Structure 1
Amino acid sequence: MTRLHTLSWRRGAWLGRKLPGLVRVSVVLGALAFATPVFPQTGGLTGKVTLQDGSPCVKCPVLIERQEIKGNYHVNTNKKGEFVYVGLPIGNYKITFQDPNGRTLFFFGQKHVGLGDPTDASLDMVKEMASQKKEQMASPEAQKQVQEQAKEQKQFTGLKQLYDQGNALFEQKQYAEAAAAFEQAIPLAKDKNLIAVLSRAADSYHKARMNDKSVETYQKAIAANPSDASLHNNLGSVYADMGKIPEAQQEFQKSAEIDPANASRAYYNMGVVMYNKGKMDEAAAALKKCTELDPKYADAYFLQAQALVGKATLNADGKIVPAPGTVDALQTYLKLDPNGKYAATAQQMLQQMEASIETEYKKSKKKKG
């Protein structure tokens, strides 16, 4: 399944903008602990946010990001522009101030939170702007840093415009044009944003049936982030559409290994692809793994039964003898999802199979008499 990545603005600057489907089946790839009381090793942040016109910043988000160990916190200012957040682990934090519309006003790159009373993190935009202007005039290094941040901000703005343009074209099913827009965005993207853009470009190429370009682009994304299970899953789907079954199986397997918690879905997707390609043995095997990992995955049982239908045989009287596991799979599907989208088909298949079995049994019994 395609997972939609989103852009993220890694660095901040003041006055930034808001970064802001036998039957043919259509299947979508789819503490509280009691212990000896101890004093918590925490601190907090407090302060007031004042805008450039001297008025308090009301209902303004304050984003608190721990630097040493991942941790993100959030608080809004009150009617007086004041805020307080207690219970923060001791350490260094990046504090980003936004206006009510989510536009970044300013950030403190490093603010230490110690044990005890909350650390003051007030923001007075008038003073900060004056101070920074003074530093820019006095320090060439500071001026260079500001210029670099401005350049980065400009780059990100261009990146986001192209990214949004690509998404809009994708929604309009203009996949080749969407891919072209995402390609233009790639040179402007960094870190997490690069993965997001590459993934969307690869997906667009796939939708445009430009599979070679899709594979190439997914491989670039995987090279940048080998541990992203969704990228391997999506690449597996492209390989399957190209008829490269071994490569597809390999990528689905990697996805399952990287993300064991969602391995059942990777095997289900593998089963769907194999089924749609007419590879029924491979489909049945993958779907069996899926149901072993997740015994409640209803759709997997139905598709497994569909993959086994072709293995049914006929006895001397021309009666259908279902392959082992077919009836069990259909019965399990109906037990798990009696009103599901495949319920009517499953019931009809079972009735036909059970009628054949019953007829064969009665005739056999008559012969014995």
Structure 2
Amino acid sequence: MRRSKTVWIIVTLVLAVGPIGAWLGAGAAAQALGTSSIVGDVKDQEGKPFPDVAITVTNEQGKKWELKTDKNGHFSQAMLQSGIYVVGYKVKDKVVWETKLRVESGAEARADANFKELIAKQGAAAQEAVKKQEEEKQKFESLKAHFDSGVATMEQARAIRSEIQRAPADQRAALQQKLVDLYGTAVNEFQAAEKATGENDPNRHIVLGRLGDSYLAAGRYQEAADTYQQVVALKPDLAGYYNNLGNALARLGKIQEATAAYEKSAALDPANAGTAWRNLGIELYNSNRMKEALEPLKKATELDPKNPQGWYLLGVALVNTMEYKKEGDKFIPILQPGTVEAYQKALDLDPNGPYGAQAKQGLESLEQMGLGIQTKVKTRPKK
């Protein structure tokens, strides 16, 4: 058996939030089964059996076989034809070593790999590279642990928020404090995860995005805006980050800058542009800037006409921007066009939900004001 010079390849671990799919090489044309084989024993950098190492065996035509070492670090690929083969050794989906060998007809060729010996042969440079790789691995594991903990904490906070809405008044203060504590924990976890990312980490934007979300939920709006600015600089083509930046800027009272962020979000993702405009309307509504909320809420209902929240908020904003005319000693409200229609649309879309219930109350209030409107809601006669 002849073996050419081996190649030692040092790789860097890369964070992947989602599942990593297996890479499949292109298959060559079907060939007759051979009588040769390649076998080997793989040992780790401590000289111990190295299980679950992904082995690739590739012939000169590009046909590839994939297998793994067993618990004893052993592998075997039979039914090969004679010829030249490249055997690759992959750890965490990265090729860390390759060797080329000739397989004779009817013979067994060995492709053993002892990484302890290989590293020793490579000298100090290779050892330093392996050490760095191990440090990167530990760094990644730390990042993942903090990131997962932050995500889980935010989920807990979401559940507490829902519980607060249903809880009796005397229990809400304790739940609110628990919510504050959870947001603080989430911020700390995402901060720790962010410190574990490198400047060139391709997934840094994901960690920063979650950190921005936790700042926003905790009411730390300036930190949220600053973090989202970093995110959009890293990923200027993702609409959701601009939407979140708009939320943070709006809560800081920077409406012009927030509007620009929402407009960017809408332009990048036209299918969900209604959400961006509705969020701007909500922020203005929550800031009691009703007149300014009208235009984005109108756009939101045009782009997303099946969302009851947008219609209800538009109805409220129209009511709160009504003008009055004086007749004698009385001030008569002048109903804005579209007010009744907005409330009625919310009621039709959400007849048994919170927005439908609030829209119904709004319509009943308008009827009680004696404006002579026509609605589908029947109010109870006054006693």
* Equivalent in 350, 353, 366 of residue 353 of structure 1: 366
Q: 64, 69, 77: which is aligned to 2:22?
A: 64
Query: Which of 68, 71, 85 is 1:123 aligned to?
Result: 68
Aligned to 1:184: 192
Q: Write the deviation string for residues 255-299 of structure 1: whole angstroms up to 9, x where unpaired.
A: 111222211111111111010011112211111111111221222
Match of 1:287 among 291, 297, 314: 297
Deviation at residue 179 of structure 1 after TM alignment? 2.7
1:115-153 per-residue CA deviation (whole Å, 9 max, x = no partner) reads 9x9842122241369525254344457655543332211
Matches within 5 A, 1:76-87: none
Residue 154, structure 1, aligned to residue 138, structure 2: yes
Number of the residue aligned with 1:303: 313
Cα separation, 1, equivalents of 2:345 and 2:153: 42
What is the match of residue 343 of structure 1?
A: 356
Distance in 2 between residues matched to 1:297 and 1:124, nearest whole Å? 55
- Counterpart selection for 1:225 from 235, 240, 253: 235
Which one has more relative contact order, counting CA pairs under 8 Å at least 6 apart? Answer: 1
Q: Give the aligned residue type for 1:226.
A: P
Deviations along 1:49-90, one digit per CA (max 9) or x if unpaired, are xxxxxxxxxxxx99324799xxxxxxxxxxxxxxxxxxxxxx
Offset, 1:166 = 4.0
**Which residue identity does 1:205 align to in structure 2?**
Y
In structure 2, give the amino acid aligned to 1:279.
R
Matched, 1:247 2:257: yes
Is it true that 1:325 corresponds to 2:319 in the alignment? no
CA contact (8 A) 2:311 2:343 kept: yes
Supply the AA of the counterpart residue of 1:337. D
- What is the Cα deviation at residue 244 of structure 1? 1.3
Q: What residue ranges of structure 2 are gaps of 5+ in the alignment?
A: 1-10, 27-50, 75-88, 92-111, 158-177, 375-383
Q: Amino acid of the residue matched to residue 182 of structure 1?
A: F
Q: Structure 1's 296 and 211: CA in aligned 2 closer, same or farther, altered over 3 A?
A: closer
Cα distance in 2, alignment partners of residues 113 and 309 from structure 1? 76
Q: Which runs of 5+ in 1 are unaligned?
A: 1-9, 21-60, 69-103, 361-369
Would the alpha carbon gap of residues 19 and 205 (structure 1) be closer, same or farther in structure 2, given more than 3 Å must change?
closer
Residue 62 to residue 313, structure 1, CA distance change in 2 (3 Å)? closer
Residue in 2 that maps onto 1:203: 213
Deviation at 1:330, TM superposition (A): 1.4
Cα separation, partners in 2 of 1:263 and 1:106, compared to 1, 3 Å: farther
The verdict on how the C-alpha distance between 1:333 and 1:19 changes in structure 2, with shifts beyond 3 A counting, is closer
| Worse-superposed segment, 270-279 or 214-223 | 214-223
Q: Which amino acid aligns with 2:143?
A: L
TM-score, reference length from structure 2: 0.60
| Residues 163, 185 of structure 1: 8 Å contact kept | yes
Are 1:136 and 2:119 an aligned pair? yes
Cα deviation, 1:1-59, whole Å, max 9, x if unaligned, reads xxxxxxxxx9769xxxx989xxxxxxxxxxxxxxxxxxxxxxxxxxxxxxxxxxxxxxx
| Residue identity matched to 1:254 | K
Q: Distance in 1 between matches of 2:255 and 2:317?
A: 17
CA spacing shift, 1:206–1:311, aligned 2, 3 Å: closer
Task: Report the Cα distance in structure 2 between the residues aligned to 1:337 and 1:113, rounded to whole angstroms.
Answer: 64
Residues in 2 aligned to 1:301 and 1:150: alpha-carbon distance in whole angstroms: 55
1:313–1:320: 8 Å Cα contact kept in structure 2? yes
Q: Provide the secondary structure at the position in 1 that maps to 2:21.
A: strand
**Cα distance change of structure 1 residues 121 and 308 upon mapping to structure 2, 3 Å threshold:** same
Q: Calculate the TM-score normalised by the size of structure 1.
A: 0.62
Aligned residue for 2:283? 273
Q: For residue 349 of structure 2, what is the amino acid of its counterpart?
A: L
SS in 2 for 1:161: helix
Distance 1:307 1:114, change over 3 A: farther
> What's the Cα RMSD here?
4.0
Identity score, percent? 33
Contact 1:320 1:353 in 2 (8 A): no
Quick check: 190-199 or 217-226, which moved more? 190-199
Query: 1:106/1:243 Cα in 2 relative to 1: closer, same or farther (>3 Å)?
Result: farther
Q: What is residue 312 of structure 1 aligned with on the other side?
A: 322
CA gap of 1:327–1:19, structure 2 versus 1, over 3 A, is: closer
Give the structure 1 partner of residue 35 of structure 2: none
Matches of 2:59 and 2:306 in 1, distance apart?
Answer: 47
